[in-house]
Amino acid sequence: MINEKLPKMWYGGDYNPEQWGPEEWKEDHRMFKLAGIDVLTINVFSWALNQPGENTYDFAWLDETMDRLHAEGFGVVLATSTAAHPAWMAKRHPDVTRVDFYGRKRTFGGRHNSCPNSPTYRKYSARMASKLAERYKDHPALLLWHVSNEYGGYCYCDQCAEAFRVWLQERYGTLDAVNKAWNTRFWGHTFYDWDEIVLPNGLSEEGEGNVSAFQGISLDYRRFMSDSLLDCYKIERDAIREFSKEVPITTNLMGTFPQLNYFDWAKEMDIISWDNYPSLTTPVSETAMVHDLMRGLKGGDPFMLMEQTPSQQNWQAYNSLKRPGVMRLWSYQAVARGADTVMFFQMRRSAGACEKYHGAVIEHAGHENTRVFREVAELGEELAKLGDTLLDARSDAKVAICYDWENRWAIELSSGPTVELQYANEVHKYYDALFKQGIQADMVGVEADFSRYDVVIAPVMYMVKSGFAQKAEAFTAAGGTFVTTFFSGIVNENDLVTLGGYPGELRKLLGIWAEEIDALPAGQYNQIVMKKPVGSLKGSYNCELLFDLIHAEGAEVLAEYGSDFYKGMPALTVNAFGKGKAYYVASSACPEFLQPFLKDLCADQGIVPLIEQIPAGVEAVRRVKEGRSFLFLLNHNAENASVNVGEGQRRELLSGQTVQGMTELPGRGVMILEEV
């Protein structure tokens, strides 16, 4: 569990008492208790309050807040307040503000506004973290340290340019190695001195929307920026650790946020926490996939749902309300997929500025007689009843889907073959095909231990990093089923093409080679035509986006293209490799193909759906703990759904009832079933 001082599912969220006064505090405490809230995150954006001057610190308000919350029975997630620097810092130390993509120097304002390589920012943020840790390390309310908030945003200042050159020297050693990795003889870009290297932004190599003339330079700058921001986290973490040895430390991540390589970040975090803000139209399988990705960052360890809104966001184009029951439903979706907390942003709606219309447990009305508060209180009562039952439960999935941030960067920086290719979307297609059939999958990085799984799927593995091909071969040879797709095996980790024919290092495993890659505009299709029925696959299925023109060299051709000049060329192949099989899907296939394809492939490995004939809109997930198995059923429909839970008796944890066979699941309802 996160902290033994509170051995239950944590319930609470971000609280900003500094924006209010004693009358509101008293009412807040009363209402928090009514809602079953027991954990509050404080001090997230209070740097200016804590440090009103360069050498002046004032923690009186925080002392009083910590003591008051403890006296009222609340635990505290204590943030370091460093997510936005004070105005005096920007005025006195211009190095602290960022330079944007267009080369413009920012002034004070907004948040995420600090240069990650600013000596000033690093000095004062570390000092703040240190002072907080020294002061509150033994405070009885303290449950968790929260460093900064939602790291992100790149900088292109001179400090970052100097730091980038140092980073390159540490990564490559010599300029010759840099020139080779970046292929700088193209367009006469050879560098003869380190200070000739400039940052890839709108003044040099890049245009808007991930357009780059030199992908190797741009790719490395993304790695560098991710590392730079991670260094800022580590500086504060280490400052805390000097005084607070045992209390866990985290920072809140943001799902598939494109700027940071979260697998690298996870190695430095005690527990993963993340902020979940889907829109009204976000597919529920996409949210599920991101929960699974957050769980996968630390090898399947439970994570924290650090933020979600009780009702609506303030920053999306259409800030729709969560319909009645949806907040509870989505909270349990997080729990089902590995969350050991349910927490909100925010506790009380701000009276002013850009988040005053962001949802809160306590609305502007200021009392408990609201729909949102009633739903929050009902969920709090349920979580209290669950206690520690689900804490530390794990997934037992036998299917893994690979996700890699650096591969995403390389794909989206690519100068072709289509602007329509979005890595996260293609990964989601495979996840969704399993999700809709009730087949559980883990989201893993390319460094994961594949031996835990029977099926590994690596969609659009464009970048094959050192050792990945050998690991995939070993997994397959030992009896595993490996699946990859079009536009895979093209480049190495420096975005240099692996010569000799696509899919490069994966060619031996897959038993094919690709001669060309065709791209069609959105709305135009080819067809995957089965040569003969394979399992439940038969007939013809649409495919789109990209089309690898491949030749079999040992692989069996299961399907061919149905039209255009490459009609009759392979579109789906399987290669026997050792005791296992390796599949190649040569185009972006439709759901009607992917669902039976993946179901049959899983069935061959003895992997079956958690629920047979699962109704549309119903989600099935399993967590296991100490020999106990918990099956979550979540109905994302507004209408009731009939679900066959099997003939064995199961106890439903939320109601205490026993169910078996065909069971009615209410609209937006949740069941957590344990075998009796």
pLDDT band for position 531 (cuts 50, 70, 90): very high
3-state secondary structure labels for all residues of 421-480: CCHHHHHHHHHHHHHCCCCCCEEECCCCCHHHCCEEEECCCCECCCCHHHHHHHHHHCCC
* Higher pLDDT pick, 674 / 112: 674
Residue 421 neighbours by CB under 8 Å, 6+ apart: 411, 412, 414, 460, 487, 545, 546
Q: Once rounded to an integer, what is the mean pLDDT over residues 294-322?
A: 96
Interval 475-485: pLDDT, tens: 999 999 999 99
Residue 308 has pLDDT above 90, yes or no: yes
Distance of CA 8 to the CA centre of its chain: 24
Burial of 493 (0-12, 13-18, 19+ CB in 10 A): middle
Say how far apart CA 51 and CA 54 lie, in whole Å. 7
Across residues 489-509, what is the average pLDDT? 97
Confidence of residue 421 (pLDDT cuts 50, 70, 90): very high
The 10s digit of each residue's pLDDT in 564-614 is 999 999 999 999 999 999 999 999 999 999 999 999 999 999 999 999 999
What value does the mean pLDDT of the chain take? Answer: 97
Predicted confidence band of residue 464 (pLDDT cuts 50, 70, 90) = very high
- Work out the pLDDT band at 112, boundaries 50, 70, 90: confident
Element (H, E) at 383: helix 371-386
Please give the average per-residue pLDDT across 384-407, as a whole number. 97
3-state secondary structure of 634: strand
Cis? peptide before 503, omega within 30° of 0 = yes
Decide the pairing of beta strands 339-344 and 303-307: parallel
Structure tokens of 613?
């004939």
The b-or-e profile of 339-378 (16+ CB within 10 A means b, else e) is bbbbbbbbbbbbeeeebeebbbbbbeeeebebebbebbbe
528: amino acid identity, one letter: I
Q: How many residues does the structure list for the chain?
A: 676
Q: Are 242 and 254 in contact (CB under 8 A)?
A: no
Residues 73-97 pLDDT 10s: 999 999 999 999 999 999 999 999 9
Contact criterion met (CB below 8 Å) for 114 and 85: yes
Distance CA 603, CA 598 (A): 8
CA 370 from chain centre, in angstroms, equals 32
Specify the pLDDT at position 2: 96
**198 Cβ partners below 8 Å, 6+ apart?**
161, 204
Is the link from the previous residue into 657 a cis peptide, with omega within 30 of 0? no
Which residue in 341, 382, 368, 320 sits closest to 14, CA to CA? 341
Tell me whether residue 64 is one of the annotated catalytic residues. Answer: no
CB 78 within 8 A of CB 146: yes
pLDDT at residue number 31: 98
Catalytic option among 206, 236, 286, 307? 307
C-alpha to C-alpha distances, 177 to 197, 224, 225, 426, 517, nearest whole angstrom: 14, 17, 20, 33, 30
Angle at 528 between CA 288 and CA 573, to 5 degrees: 85
Q: Are 387 and 8 in contact (CB under 8 A)?
A: yes
Question: How would residue 676 be classed by pLDDT, with cut points 50, 70 and 90?
Answer: confident
Distance between CA 296 and CA 289 in Å, rounded?
Answer: 10
Whether omega before 417 lies within 30 degrees of 0, making that bond cis, reads: yes
CB neighbours (10 Å) of residue 183? 17
pLDDT for 623 beyond 90: yes
Nearest to 328 by CA among 317, 316, 344: 344
Among candidate residues 394, 293, 263, 400, the one with its CA nearest the CA of residue 340: 394
* Separation in Å, CA 578 to CA 245, 300, 575, 671: 48, 28, 10, 42
| pLDDT recorded at residue 352 | 92
- Under the banding of pLDDT at 50, 70 and 90, the label for residue 1 is confident
| pLDDT value of position 551 | 98
Look at residue 236 in the predicted model and tell me its pLDDT.
98
- Which tens digit of pLDDT belongs to each residue from 140-172? 999 999 999 999 999 999 999 999 999 999 999
The pLDDT assigned to 278 comes to 96
How remote is the C-alpha of 455 from its chain's centroid? Answer: 21
What share of the chain has pLDDT > 90, as a percent? 98
* C-alpha dihedral, 588 to 590 to 592 to 593, nearest 10°: -10
506-529 pLDDT per residue, tens: 999 999 999 999 999 999 999 999
Task: Indicate if 150 belongs to the active site.
Answer: yes
- DSSP classification of residue 198: -
Which amino acid is present at 228? S
Contacts of 118 (CB under 8 A, 6+ apart): 93, 95, 96, 159
Nearest alpha-carbon partner for 347 in 81, 33, 62, 79: 33
**How far is residue 610's CA from residue 643's CA, in Å, rounded to a whole number?**
11
